[in-house]
Every structure is written in structure tokens, then in C-alpha cells.
């Protein structure tokens, strides 16, 4: 194709078509016939109207951190109530008669031998101390700690043979019958 042909094509593409006055009149008339949308008003309209809110990246990070903290708080929210009891745990009662003791606690395999973790409650004026501990099935060694210093085995329980640190008792939870 020669240059003359290309110039002819260019001229044709650049040529502006005159507007179709009748078509414009028909479109305008149609628009005028359509019912106008009622303007949205009220609180819901205000809430749902889109807006552009400019924030800095620092504000955005702070907002995200606040959201994470709120989620963590809600996860441990006190109003959710206590967790349901674990069916795998069995209540085991420990009893010691120690009329002269001022305080008694348990230390054993079920509380990492922490003598402050499981205090016994004085059940009556006769010096009977007791506590109920939920335990999973297994074998546990333990002792009573009287007044924070005396480590006393349970006379009503089988003895633990592992005594290189001192005497202890054994409780078996669960198992066959």
C-alpha cells in the first residue's frame, strides 16, 4: 500500500461524525421519564455511606494491634464462664490427720513437687486436713508437707520405693478393676 492510501485511511479515521440530534433527544427524554431516586437519609444512610478516610501507616499499625489485643481479651473473657470439666480427670481425695499442724500441703508428681501449689483445708476441729485433686490415670508419688518443713508420707497409701530423697507415697488413678 502506498503513502497516499495510508493518508486516506488516517483522514477517514480523524473525520468527526456530526451528532445525531434525534438520538440525543430520545436519550434525554428517556432520562427525564425515569423516576428520580429518593435521597438516602437517616442514621443508616450515614453509616453505610462510603467515605475515604486518610490514615498514616502508624495509625493503621496501632489499629491492627488494638484489634489483636481485643481478640485475645475476648478469648479469655471472664463472662464466658468456667470451662466444662475434663472427663479424663478423676477426683482423688487426700486426707491427713495432723492436729498440731498450722498448715498442710501436698507435693507430688501431679504439681511438680511445688509445696505451695496444693494446700489442704482443715476439715474439722479434730485436725483432719483434706483436699480433692483432679488427676488423670497414672501412678503418682507424693508427700504431705506439714508447716512447710516436714515431709510426711501418707500412712494410708502404699509406699513409694524411690526413697533416695526421703519417704513418699504412691497413688494409682484409673486402671482396671
Q: Which residues bind other proteins (CB under 8 A)?
A: 107, 109, 112-115, 137-139, 141, 151, 155-156, 158-166, 168, 170, 172, 174-177
Q: Which is nearer to other proteins, 103 or 159 (CB)?
A: 159
Closest to 131 measured CA to CA, from 161, 107, 148, 152: 107
Q: Write down the least CB distance from residue 152 to other proteins, Å.
A: 13
What secondary structure does DSSP assign to 110-136, as a single string?
TTTT-TTTEE-EE-STT-EEEEEEEE-
Q: Write down the least CB distance from residue 50 to other proteins, Å.
A: 50
Q: Write down the least CB distance from residue 135 to other proteins, Å.
A: 11
Q: Which is nearer to other proteins, 101 or 145 (CB)?
A: 145
Burial class of residue 5 (count of CB atoms within 10 Å of its CB; 0-12, 13-18, 19+): exposed
Q: Write down the least CB distance from residue 94 to other proteins, Å.
A: 16
Q: Which is nearer to other proteins, 109 or 130 (CB)?
A: 109
Residue 73 cell numbers, joined: 481479651
Q: Which is nearer to other proteins, 63 or 134 (CB)?
A: 134
What is the C-alpha to C-alpha distance for residues 116 and 147, in angstroms, rounded to an integer?
11
Amino acid at each position: 500500500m502506498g503513502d497516499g492510501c495510508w493518508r486516506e485511511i488516517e483522514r477517514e479515521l480523524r473525520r468527526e461524525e456530526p451528532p445525531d440530534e434525534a438520538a440525543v433527544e430520545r436519550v434525554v427524554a428517556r432520562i427525564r421519564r425515569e423516576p428520580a431516586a429518593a435521597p438516602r437519609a437517616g442514621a443508616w444512610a450515614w453509616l453505610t455511606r462510603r467515605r475515604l478516610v486518610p490514615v498514616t501507616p502508624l495509625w493503621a499499625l496501632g489499629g491492627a494491634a488494638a484489634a489483636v489485643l481485643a481478640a485475645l481479651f475476648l478469648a479469655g473473657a471472664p463472662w464466658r464462664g468456667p470451662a466444662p470439666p475434663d472427663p479424663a480427670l478423676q477426683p482423688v481425695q487426700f486426707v491427713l490427720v495432723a492436729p498440731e499442724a498450722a498448715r498442710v500441703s501436698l507435693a507430688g508428681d501431679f504439681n511438680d513437687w511445688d509445696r505451695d501449689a496444693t494446700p489442704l483445708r482443715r476439715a474439722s476441729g479434730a485436725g483432719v486436713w483434706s483436699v480433692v485433686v483432679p488427676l488423670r490415670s497414672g501412678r503418682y508419688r507424693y508427700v504431705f508437707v506439714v508447716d512447710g518443713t516436714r515431709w510426711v508420707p501418707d500412712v494410708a497409701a502404699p509406699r513409694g520405693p524411690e526413697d533416695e530423697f526421703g519417704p513418699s507415697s504412691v497413688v494409682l488413678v484409673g486402671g482396671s478393676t
